[in-house]
Amino acid sequence: MLQHKKLALLSLSLFSLIALAAKAEPIDNRHIIVAPQCLVKNLSVSMNYKTLASSSTLALLETNRLGIDYLIEAKNHRTATPCGGFVDVTDAWDNYHSRDLSSQRKAKSFLQEEMTKESSVKIKAKTYGIQYPDQVNQLIKQINPSTIWSDLTAFSDTHKSKFPDRYANSATGVNAANWLKEKIEALAKANNRTDITTYAISTGPQYKQPSIVVKIGDSNEPGVVIGGHMDTLSSSWELKPGADDDGSGSMAVMEIARTLISSNMRFKKPIYIMWYAAEEEGLVGSSKVVAEFKNKNIPIDAVLQFDMTGYADKNDPTIWLITDNINKDLTAYLETLIKTYIKQPVGYTRCGYSCSDHASWNKAGFPAAIPFEAAFGKDNPYIHTANDTINILSINHMANFAKLGIAFAVELAEPVV
């Protein structure tokens, strides 16, 4: 524990040196950010940003690359009340055109619309039930915890992996995306699956790493999305293996994909497997993915997000369900799935403003839900550090999340029987 604290202090000191060196840096490489006031309050006074508009709960900020780093650092402050994260809304801001508004009024109008999207998304309630227990149980039995472990080792162990980090603006971040894509393509080929489509969605121009999308099935019916984010922070000052955040979620998603592709089961609805880029930078990758799905009118019935599935506080097997930026009906259905198929305790916890990629889908009007490894405040304390390693994670906890994803996919995509 003492060594962990020393590493954290070293990381903070290095971060402070960067800040002092760049204190007078002008705002270039511009980013427009929406952040909760509780996060803004934690920002260093030396951060280079400008407040464009503000409310009692949110702020609209203009900043640069260094400002993003400060926001990420502020997000790591552990408080009794979860604050959440921030969203990079640069694209939406640049495309925002309101008639005859001054810059100040435009900013206020834009922020108000963002607040409305977050607080009043109305999605028609749907009745969810248990319809395919035989098919779900058949595939759950095929979940292999050792495969999850070996994949996570290859994805995040800095001694055995190709990736010292998976930072979204690095070559290793791009390599990680390619590794995921190639692994799926090899699975499809090995199982003679001609109904698997794999493609990348650009996160540019600011980030090199693309998001990866896999479509299972040929149907054009409203589909089911299961995803996690692949990226980590940069390892410029220390290694960022990201075993839990979000290697654990990413490899739970990989195990779900492996199980579905390896089975002979076919579905009425398509299943979309996704790994998002640049989540750490303000949900950038998922925002791009959601925008593409909306622009192409690709219908989606339900979205499941896996962000940190491996850390079991005091070996607690509880699966926690996040209560904000989600669809309540879909979240209640997750509890039903857990009690029916996983048979583990269920808890509820709040994560704060836009804390993971489910928020991008929710804001766009798609039903989304997110299970989590622990109650907020008792989750992995080592994320975003060199100590976010595989050795402190629970193989059984990760396997239970993969089983939940299988139950979600099979029940909602409806197997052809």
- Start and end residues for every CATH 3.40.630.10 domain found in the chain: 133-413
pLDDT at 119: 56
Task: State mean pLDDT over 256-273.
Answer: 98
Poorest-confidence range of 41-50, 76-85, 270-279, 403-412?
Answer: 41-50
pLDDT at 312 over 70: yes
pLDDT in tens, 330-371: 999 999 999 999 999 999 999 999 999 999 999 999 999 999
pLDDT at 5 over 70: no
**pTM confidence score:** 0.92
Compute the C-alpha angle 16/19/25, nearest 5°: 175
Question: In sequence order, what are the beta bridge partners of 224?
Answer: 271, 302
pLDDT at 160: 77
DSSP state for residue 170 in the 8-state scheme: S
- Asked if residues 321 and 371 have their Cβ atoms less than 8 Å apart, the reply is yes
Residue 296 tokens, joined? 């192409």
Q: How far apart are CA 162 and CA 365, in angstroms?
A: 37
pLDDT at 60 over 90: yes
Active site residues: 229, 245, 279-280, 307, 384
Please give the share of the chain, as a percent, with pLDDT higher than 70: 89
pLDDT at 100: 66
Residue 265 CB-half CA count within 13 A: 29
Task: State mean pLDDT over 84-106.
Answer: 86
More confident residue, 104 or 367: 367
pLDDT at 25: 37
- Asked if residues 33 and 89 have their Cβ atoms less than 8 Å apart, the reply is yes
pLDDT in tens, 165-194: 999 999 999 999 999 999 999 999 999 999
DSSP output for 235-278: -SSS----IIIIIIHHHHHHHHHHHHHHS---BSS-EEEEEES-
- Domain 133-413 CATH (choose: 3.40.630.10, 3.40.50.150, 3.40.50.300, 3.40.710.10): 3.40.630.10
Residue 193 tokens, joined? 């699956």
- The mean of the pLDDT values for the chain is 90
45 band by pLDDT with thresholds 50, 70 and 90: low
Compute the C-alpha angle 313/303/215, nearest 5°: 115
pLDDT at 278 over 90: yes
Residue 17 tokens, joined? 């040196």
pLDDT at 21: 37
Compute the Cα dihedral for 99, 104, 107, 110 and give only its sign: negative
Task: State mean pLDDT over 48-65.
Answer: 93
pLDDT at 37 over 60: yes
pLDDT in tens, 61-89: 999 998 999 999 888 877 768 899 999 99
Q: How far apart are CA 155 and CA 230, in angstroms?
A: 9
Residue 346 tokens, joined? 């269920």
Q: Which amino acid is at 384?
A: H
More confident residue, 47 or 364: 364
Q: How far apart are CA 210 and CA 229, in angstroms?
A: 11
